[in-house]
Every structure is written in structure tokens, then in C-alpha cells.
Structure 1
Amino acid sequence: MPHHDHDTIDGDVYVSPRHLASTTGTGDPALAPLLDLGWDLRHDEDSNVYVSAPDRRVRLGYLPEGDDDGLWRINAYKDSFGPPAWGVCFNDRVPTEFVQAFTTVLATAYEQGPDAYLARPVPCLDEHDPFLAVAPLLKQGWEIGRPRWGVFAVQAPDGHAGMEFTTGDLDPETELTTREARWQLWAGTSIDRPVWYATASTDTPIALLTAVTECVADPAPLPRWRQATSSYIKGMAQLTPILLPGPPAPTPLDVQRTVSSRRPPALSAASVARWSTTSRPALPGPRR
């Protein structure tokens, strides 16, 4: 059963809603989709990790020792020596599953070619319509937030997560280096001081954004180690202990064998052991 008295829970737990689960503390699952394609992996003396596509047109930085809390930075380029065509940032508390959802679809898009991983959003144009990225959240009961000038926002039913889309012209450099980007997804008590956030610049392909929002909107809880869960979820998330499976229920054949083993054996001359100084003791039967 779900618990709200978190101090009485120990061990593995499910966290619900999943946007309150925070990071798993390891980047391996999110790096795997790109490394499986044979992308180049390098690291520096500070243990920051850099992954690049073979043509250097998509680059990922996993930066635990970076200059700020932007743990994941992913950029794509039309020209490998030019400015980024789009950029995405996940901070150090984003649930790792959300980043993995992004890199999984990014790997697929890269295999399809530039028309997929550099596809610009186009309003009212089928799969490139920006608001398709919001649809998975609305389907799970997220509501349109208070209208603000130049901003479209949706908010989770519990009020502890939201997504914003800013209209109008934005500075490309600012989008890549601050939270003032076209898209922002966050969790916590307010967008001004979120516990975790993710940003995406103007030309980020909608398919990549939708992969993240579909993962966020998934009603299934996320597994976490209780002692590693963030203190901010206290009183906000539901924690359900993960119980290890018990022994399987006995089948009718198991019951029959058990009953048969309890019946007294029919004694006969052949079944009585004959002991002598030269005979070996009977070997024990198989253990159950």
C-alpha cells in the first residue's frame, strides 16, 4: 500500500507520481542508446563524459563536474563547426529514465538521418506540430495553467510539475546557456525554484520532446532505493515498498507428491536393508 509516513519505510520503493522520483545517480542507462551505435566516448580528468556521433553533428556531455547544475547537455549541428541547431539540458536531479527516453529516440532519429534529428517544429504540420509534445501530459490529466503573457503552460494534477512553452523571439545563445529557453519542464513546488528541470531550445525536434513527455506522463511508478530518494518528496510523493516475490504456490502435482511422500512404505523382504561388514550403506535419496 502507498505510504505517506516516509520515515517508517526502508529498502526499495516505488515512487509515484514518477516526476517526483529524482535521479538514479548513474548516467549509464541514458548513455547506452548512443554508445550502442558506436558513438565515440571520451572523458576528462574531472570524470566528465563526452559522447559524439561519428560525423560530430550530435554531441552529448555528461558533466557531473561542470560549471553549473546542467548535468546533461545535448546539442545537434547542421555544420559540425558551426553553432548548435538546437540544444537540450537536463539538470542533475532529473529522473534518469526521462533522459534515457530522449537519448533512445535521438539514437533512432540519428540513424534515420538529418531530416529526422534536425527536423524543425512547424505549427499545424502533422508530426512536427510543437503542441504534440504537450499532448501526452494532457491525456494524463495535466491541466492548462494560469495564462501568462507570451507563455503557454500545463501543470500536473498534484501541482508539483509543469511544462512551459514561451512564444515570441528568443536569443539563441541565451536558450543554450540559461533556463530561458523555448521549452521548460520542471518539478518541485514552483518553477522559480524547481528541484529538477529540463530545457529545450526553439528548433529541438518535436519527436525528441514527445519522447520525454510520454515518459513523464506514464502513470507507472519508478523504482528507487528509499535512502537515496530526495528529501523534497516528503509529503508529496507516494512511496510503496517493493516486496520481494515469495515462493511460488504449490501446483496440484506438488501436492500429490507431498501426500505420497508421507505414506508409510510397503515393507517387503527386498526393501529391507541387509547390513554386513562388507556392504555399503544405502545412498540417501535426492533432497527436496
Structure 2
Amino acid sequence: MHTPDDPHLYEEVLVSPMYLAGSNGIGDAGFAPVAHWPHHYLDDGPCQLLVTSPDQRIRVGWFGDDFELWRISAATEAASATRWTATFNHVTPAEIVAGLTTALAHDYAEADAYDSNGRFLANPSIYWADAVRPLTDAGWKRGVPTTPGTVEIVAPDGQAGAVIDRRSYGPDDETVTLWAGPPGWGTRAEAVFTARAPSHLIAATADAMADSAPVIRERHQIHREMEHLVTLTPVGSASPQTSRAPTPLDVRRTAVTQAVHRAARAPRTAAELRVMAARSRTATSTRTGSPNLPHATMARTRLSPSAPRRSR
């Protein structure tokens, strides 16, 4: 546990497993795959940043002051009713969100070239296992469900899992939940998908969640109740060649690189889009000294009451 005067409070560390790293208070990694899409800044509303596909059928919303920090949805037309929605709470690492936004960027690029409807509007598989296959392929096992009519998949460490609700629900009801961390406002990460969410998009999110690569956080961003569940490695000691502590720009670049590398298995067209987006963001950051996302707005994200704030 860290005290406010701890000299290591803002030390940057590699956190593993990634799904227990929590949010770093900004959404750069989650927005990186769609950085080339139109941005709409809505500082006066609950949704502070809305990134949409060029035809506005896909929407990625950042709700900086809400418990549900991210709200991502798709519709058949820009003005039509939402077909499916995915929400990510304020504890969920943005690197997990990037699993979904990477898949959406790929689907949209493919639809633009070959299919006006788009795979991001596909019906979900009739087999529940398809949505969580990356987890079972990574060695996650079926657990004992706490609610009749549900299926649970649990990570080997018991600190993350998926719940699939197989009961009959309406199209807008929540049926798949990916979770990580012990129950609690500041400790439990949750990603929730409604019934018509395509299975391959849920699987892409689950694949990011199961990624074994660590992520960068400052020590104070790790909730005190999570410290005994994660492995922390100071960034400066991670490589013998490291001669300086990484700057905030280095951290942002690392987050973007991780998001791009995680999607390397995608078809070439999607990979090219993500690399283009990453290069665009890096170039902008280099010129301006800040990312092309609303850092000041994102800084208002509610954190755990125990999380200290840097004095200015």
C-alpha cells in the first residue's frame, strides 16, 4: 500500500495480468484503432467524446464522468435504432476496449470495400462457445454458474471470467459479460454486450482480455486491493538497456503499439488501417506534445476514492 508521500507513487510499472491493471484514466489505446475516424467533442454532455465511422453507423463514446466509461454501438443506418451495444466500466483497461475497436475498424474497412451491410451487423452465432473461444483456447475453464441458465468461463487464477446468459431475452438485453477482479466499485472490470452483438466481436474483446502481455501503469493507479493479485515490474528495470524513465509520450506510444501488435493476426487491410492510425497519432503527439484526444476531458474520469491525485 502506498502513502501520499511515497516517492515511488508515480513510478511507471509493467502490470500483469493485464486484465487486472485497471484503467489509466485515458482512452488512447481504445481509440487508437479508430483514430482516423471523425471525432466529435461533446464536453457539455455525458458523452464527452464520440468517434464515429464515416457513415456514423458505428459509434464509440467516451463518458468521462460515468461508471460506464465506454459505450460502443452499431446500427444499420446512421439514424436508425441501435442494433447492439457494448459497455465497458471505469475499471476496464483501455487495452481490452482496443480488442473491440480493432475488430470494428477491420469490419468497417471490409464492408466499405465488399459489403455495404458489414460484418459488424452480423447475427450472433447460435453457439455460445464461439463468443468466448479465445478464453477457452487460452486454458480458461468452465466454472460453476451462480445463476440458472448461465454459463461461466473462469481464468486459471480465478480472477477473471465470462458469463453467458442463455435464457430467452429481448434483443437489447445484456447476455454476455466479461469481468476481471474482485467485486467492488474500484476493483471489478466489466464489459457487457447485448443480445445481438456479433459473436466474433465479443471474441475479439475476449482475445484482448486473454493477452499475456503486460501494460504500463503508474503505481498509484493500481487499487490497493489489487496489489497482491498482480505482478509489478518497474519499467526502468525491465530492460538492461533502459537508461531513462519513459515519458508520458513514451507510455502513450507503447499503448498504441500494443493495440496494433495485438491485432497483427487480422487481415492485411485492417492492419494497414491500424498502423496508419498509430502513425498519425504519434506524429500529432510529437508535434503538439499531447495526443489528439481530449486529455483534459479524460482526466475528469472518476477514479476510486482511494486513488491519490497528483498535486500541481
> TM-score, normalization: structure 1?
0.72
1:155 aligns with 2:154: yes
Provide, for residues 114-146 of structure 1, a one-character-per-residue CA deviation record: whole Å limited to 9, x for no partner: 2311011122xxxxx542232221222211010
Contact 1:152 1:165 in 2 (8 A): yes
2:159 is matched by which residue type in structure 1?
A: H
1:27 Cα deviation from its structure 2 partner: 1.2
Local SS of the residue matching 1:23? coil
1:223 Cα deviation from its structure 2 partner: 2.1
Find the partner of 2:203 among 191, 196, 210.
210
Change (3 A) 1:9 1:118: farther
Cross-structure match for 1:54:
54
1:26 aligns with 2:23: no
Local SS of the residue matching 1:149? coil
1:119 aligns with 2:122: yes
Q: Tell me the distance in 2 between the aligned counterparts of 1:32 and 1:193.
A: 25
Local SS of the residue matching 1:162? strand
Contact 1:142 1:154 in 2 (8 A): yes
1:88 Cα deviation from its structure 2 partner: 0.3
Which runs of no fewer than 5 residues in structure 2 stay unpaired?
Answer: 112-116, 243-312
Contact 1:76 1:86 in 2 (8 A): yes
Contact 1:35 1:41 in 2 (8 A): no
Q: Tell me the distance in 1 between the aligned counterparts of 2:216 and 2:184.
A: 25
Local SS of the residue matching 1:232? coil
Q: Tell me the distance in 2 between the aligned counterparts of 1:232 and 1:197.
A: 17
Cross-structure match for 2:179:
186
1:235 aligns with 2:238: no
1:166 is matched by which residue type in structure 2?
A: D
2:22 is matched by which residue type in structure 1?
A: S
1:233 Cα deviation from its structure 2 partner: 0.9
Contact 1:6 1:239 in 2 (8 A): no
1:48 Cα deviation from its structure 2 partner: 0.7
Cross-structure match for 1:106:
104
2:57 is matched by which residue type in structure 1?
A: R
1:45 is matched by which residue type in structure 2?
A: D
1:222 aligns with 2:215: yes
1:96 is matched by which residue type in structure 2?
A: A
1:191 Cα deviation from its structure 2 partner: 8.8
Local SS of the residue matching 1:146? coil
Which runs of no fewer than 5 residues in structure 1 stay unpaired?
Answer: 124-128, 176-180, 249-288
Q: Tell me the distance in 2 between the aligned counterparts of 1:142 and 1:244.
A: 28
Greater Rg, structure 1 or structure 2? 1
Contact 2:186 2:223 in 1 (8 A): no
Q: Tell me the distance in 1 between the aligned counterparts of 2:180 and 2:214.
A: 15
How high is the sequence identity, in percent, across the aligned residues? 31
Contact 2:23 2:91 in 1 (8 A): yes
Equivalence map 1:134-173=2 (5 Å): 134-147=132-145, 148-173=147-172
Contact 2:18 2:212 in 1 (8 A): yes
Provide, for residues 53-95 of structure 1, a one-character-per-residue CA deviation record: whole Å limited to 9, x for no partner: 2222111210113xx4111001111133232111000011101
Q: Which moved more, 1:152-161 or 1:9-18?
A: 9-18
Local SS of the residue matching 1:85? strand
> TM-score, normalization: structure 2?
0.67
Cross-structure match for 1:253:
none
1:247 Cα deviation from its structure 2 partner: 5.4
Provide, for residues 222-255 of structure 1, a one-character-per-residue CA deviation record: whole Å limited to 9, x for no partner: 222112222231221122222164459xxxxxxx
